[in-house]
Amino acid sequence: MSTLLHCENLSKRYANVLALNNVNLDLESGKIVGLLGPNGSGKTTFIKILNGLLTPTYGKVTIDGNEPGVETKKIVAYLPDNSYLNTWMRVEQIVDYFKDFYEDFRPELAYEMLERLGISPKMKLKTLSKGNKEKVCLILVMSRNARLYVLDEPIAGVDPAARDYVISTIINNYNPDATVLISTHLISDIEQVLDDVIFIKDGNIVLHQTVDEIRAEHQKSVDELFREVFKW
Amino acid sequence: MDWILDKKKPICPQLCEQICVRIAKGEFEPNQKLLSVRDVALTAGVNPNTVQRSFEDLERMGIVYSIRGSGWYVSEDITFAKDTLERMLQEKTTAYFADMNLLGMQNDEIKNYVKEWEQ
Q: Domain limits of chain A?
A: 3-229
Residue B4: inside a domain: no
Chain B residues within an 8 Å CB radius of A211: 10-11, 47, 50
B76 shares its domain with B88: no
Which CATH code, of 3.40.50.720, 3.20.20.70, 3.20.20.150, 3.40.50.300, is assigned to A3-229? Answer: 3.40.50.300
Q: Which pLDDT tens digits describe chain B residue by residue (119 residues)?
A: 578 899 999 999 999 999 999 999 999 999 999 999 999 999 999 999 999 999 999 999 999 999 998 999 999 999 999 999 999 999 999 999 999 999 999 999 999 999 998 77
User: Hey, of A189, A212, A217, which one would you mutate to test binding to chain B, going by the most B CBs within 10 A of its CB?
Assistant: A212
Which residues from B are below 8 Å from A192, CB to CB?
5, 7, 11, 44-47
Q: Is the CB of A193 less than 8 angstroms away from the CB of B45?
A: yes
Shared domain check, B89 and B72: no
From A84's Cα to the closest Cα of chain B, the distance in A is: 30
Cβ distance of B42 and A194 shorter than 8 Å? no
Task: Please judge whether A219 and B50 are an interchain contact, meaning their C-beta atoms are less than 8 angstroms apart.
Answer: no
Looking at the structure, do residues B74 and B17 belong to the same domain, yes or no?
yes
Asked if A102 and A144 count as a contact pair (C-beta separation under 8 A), the reply is yes
Domain presence at residue B36: yes
- Would the CB atoms of B44 and A224 count as touching at under 8 Å? no
The pLDDT of residue B87? 94
Domain identity same for B17 and B52: yes
| Domain-located, residue B50 | yes
Q: Do A192 and B42 count as a contact with CB atoms less than 8 A apart?
A: no
- Residue B60 shares a structural domain with residue B89: no
Distance between CA atoms of residues A170 and A165, nearest Å: 9
A193 contact residues in B (CB cutoff 8 A)? 45-47
Same-domain pairing of B16 and B33: yes
Looking at the structure of chain B, the number of domains it has is 2
Of B8, B42, B44, the CB nearest to A220: B8
Nearest CB partner across the interface for A195, out of B8, B10, B47: B47
What residues of chain B, 48 to 77, have a C-beta less than 8 Å from chain A?
48-50
Contact between B8 and A221 (Cβ < 8 Å): yes
With CB atoms and an 8 Å threshold, state whether A216 touches B38: no
Tell me whether residue B22 is in a domain.
Answer: yes
- Of the candidates A18, A42, A19, A20, the one whose C-alpha atom is nearest the C-alpha of residue A10 is A20
Q: Quick check: A138 and A151 in contact, CB under 8 A? A: yes
Q: What is the rounded (10 degree) CA torsion for A185, A191, A196, A199?
A: 30
Residue B114 located in a structural domain:
yes
B8/A215 touch (CB, cutoff 8 Å), yes or no = yes
Output the CA torsion sign for A5, A11, A211, B57: positive
Q: Does B43 touch chain A (CB under 8 A)?
A: no
The per-residue pLDDT string of chain A (232 residues; one tens digit each, 9 = 90 and over) reads 689 999 999 999 998 899 999 999 999 999 999 999 988 899 999 999 999 999 999 999 999 999 999 999 999 999 998 878 888 999 999 999 999 999 999 999 999 999 988 999 999 999 998 888 888 999 999 999 999 999 998 888 788 888 888 888 899 888 889 999 999 888 888 999 999 999 999 999 999 999 999 999 999 999 999 998 887 6
What is the domain range of residue B105? 82-118
What integer pLDDT is reported at residue B1 of this predicted model? 54
- For B41, the closest of A171, A215, A219 (CB atoms) is A171
pLDDT value of residue A121: 95
Half-sphere exposure of A62 (CA within 13 A, CB side): 6
